[in-house]
Structure formats: C-alpha cells, structure tokens
Amino acid sequence: MNIYTKISGFGHFLPKKIYSNEDLKKIVDTSDEWIYSRTGIKQRHIAESNELTSNLAINAALSAFNNSKIDPKVIDCIIIATTTPDNTFPSTATKVQNFFQLKDIPSFDIQAVCSGFIYGLQIADSFIKSEKFKNILLIGAETLSKIVDWKDRRTCVLFGDGAGSMILSADKKKNGILSTKIYSDGEWIDSLYADGGPSLNQRVGKIRMKGQDIFKQAVTKLSQATENALKECNLNKEDINWFVPHQANQRIILSTAKKLGIGEKKTISTVENHANTSAASIPLAISSAVNSGKIKKNDILALCAIGGGLTWGSCILKI
C-alpha cells in the first residue's frame, strides 16, 4: 500500500518589534518610496537581542500544535530550515527537541538559505513515503536581522525575522505533498552570501548580495521549477488555487506569477508586512493565509523559492 504525506498542522510566529520603512530612515539613507516601489516592503518584524531563532521556532511549533490539536508527543522527527541558527552547533532543531522533551528521535537543521523549507518538504516527504517516520515537525525559522549589515542600505531594508511551521503526517489518501523539485547551481555563490563562517574566518559574517543578478535568475528559475513540479504530478496552472512564492520582493513575485500565467488574485503575498524572512517566508505566508481564511481545506498550492547558492525548488501540495 502506498503512503502519502498530508499536512496536518500549520503555525507561525513573528517577533513583536516592528521596523517600518520610516524607522529605517533613522538608520540608513533611504526612503519609503525607494523601498516600497522596488520591493513592495513596508515593514519587517525584528527579533530582540535575547530572542533567538530557536525561540521563534518553538513558538511557531506551539502555534501548529495548538491550531491542529496534535500532541507534540507524536512527533518522531524534527527538521529546521535556517540560515541563522542560534549556534554554529548544536543544531537549532535539537534545542526545539529539548523544549518539547522529545527523547530519542532525530532532529537536524538544513541549510539551503531561502529554499530551505522546500528542501525540507522534499526530505520530509521522502522520510514519510519510505515509512521511516509518521509525524514530522518541519520549521522554517530565521533571525536575519542579526546578520544584515545595518550600514548597507542595499540589503538591510530587505530582510525580516519570523518562523513558520508544518506538521507532516503519514496518510493512506493521495493528498498533501503531490510533488517536489529541488535544485542548486554553485556558479552563483558570489551573488548572495554571508562574508563569514567557522572555517573561513571564524566570524558569523554579514549578508552580501548582487541584487540584479538574483532578480534575473529568480523569475526564470522559480517559474521553471514550478512548471516542472506541476508536470510531475500531472497538474496544470488552472488547477492551482493559490500560488505561494518565496516572499523576497513583490516585483519578483508578480513577474513569476505572470510568467506562469497565474493571476495576482491567486497569488499570496505577505512581503509588504513581513519582508524577506528567508526559509520562514513560505510557511509563514501559508499559515497567515490559512488563519485569514484565504487558504481553505482541499486547496491546491504551488510553492516555489530561490536562495543563496543558488538553491531553488518548488512543491505542489493539497491542503
């Protein structure tokens, strides 16, 4: 008998502190007009210095457990997609595991930058379909505000902090994850990176980016990945109820939707309020849209993301 991966819970968490574009004017030489017209961003949530990625991840997990009424005790694997772990090691996932007192289960972080959650969906789906695990807690959690260079107006205006979570469970019905596609191309390592690392210079480093390189690659790679994922599960763009791309930039979101022939009305965008939260952006956007009643049971979603590396990918799933 075939086993499939259903989505049995969603959650998210955002730090309370908010920086508007007006607030950023006090930090760097910028304007609301420049930021909003080029990115669609109006504000971003910013973690306090004592608010760590693991705290955001735990709160996003609690939100999924509360919303779904699922007992944390059933979780048999924890995966966290993050570029901003609390420590170089141990993984942020083991901190979450310790909070929930889940003994003797595997927990690990994955690093695929903004595509981390899509990578996580493919890994979780493979684990469940191979019957290794039955209930996986997958979280995208980031505190990017801690690795932006607050003196660099080209990057600091783009990012925010937050976390989104999903509980993925084994099911006999062909629902949930219908297909996943993940890719990378190391040719682009110099276009988006942090200029530090344990082996490189024993520092954390700050985000460096060639914005126009990323913009050009994003629209092509996101639309191709989504087309490939649709093809793999024999669906067409007309079957999609909601397009949920990585929330980096409103112009990338709308250009990709247009290239795919998907209307703005079917496109979920939270970038105005959340900015770019990297691996957290997709689960955060989905959970927010479920809470607001936009995304409903049985809707088919097309997700896609691109991030440093470059890494990119897509996932088609039925809620």
Residues with a known catalytic role: 114, 246, 276
39 contacts ligand ACO (rule: CB under 6 A): yes
What does the alpha-carbon distance between residue 193 and residue 196 come to, in Å, rounded to a whole number?
Answer: 9
Nearer to ligand ACO, 106 or 211 (CB): 211
| Contact with ligand ACO (CB under 6 A) among 153, 237, 259, 266 | 153
130 contacts ligand ACO (rule: CB under 6 A): no
The dihedral through the CA atoms of 201, 85, 114, 160 has a sign that is negative
122 contacts ligand ACO (rule: CB under 6 A): no
Nearer to ligand ACO, 114 or 260 (CB): 114
The footprint of ligand ACO on this chain (CB under 6 A) covers a number of residues equal to: 22
| Contact with ligand ACO (CB under 6 A) among 64, 144, 306, 319 | 306
Instruction: In the chain, count H helices and then E strands.
Output: 10, 13
Stretch that binds ligand ACO, among 81-89, 118-126, 174-182, 213-221 (CB under 6 A): 213-221
Stretch that binds ligand ACO, among 32-40, 119-127, 195-203, 265-273 (CB under 6 A): 32-40
- At which residue do the structure tokens 């997709």 appear? 282
Burial (CB count <10 Å: 0-12, 13-18, 19+), residue 76: middle
For residue 43, the surrounding DSSP H or E stretch is strand 43-45
313, 305 in Cβ contact below 8 A?
yes
What does the alpha-carbon distance between residue 201 and residue 192 come to, in Å, rounded to a whole number?
Answer: 18
Within 250-289, the residues that bind ligand ACO by CB under 6 A are 276
218 contacts ligand ACO (rule: CB under 6 A): yes
Nearer to ligand ACO, 163 or 218 (CB): 218
> Hey, how many other C-beta atoms are within 10 angstroms of the C-beta on 239?
14
CA 146, chain centre distance (Å): 17
CA 44, chain centre distance (Å): 15
307 contacts ligand ACO (rule: CB under 6 A): yes
Binding site for ligand ACO (CB under 6 A): 30, 34-35, 38-39, 114, 153-154, 157-158, 192, 209, 211-212, 214-215, 218, 248-249, 276, 306-307
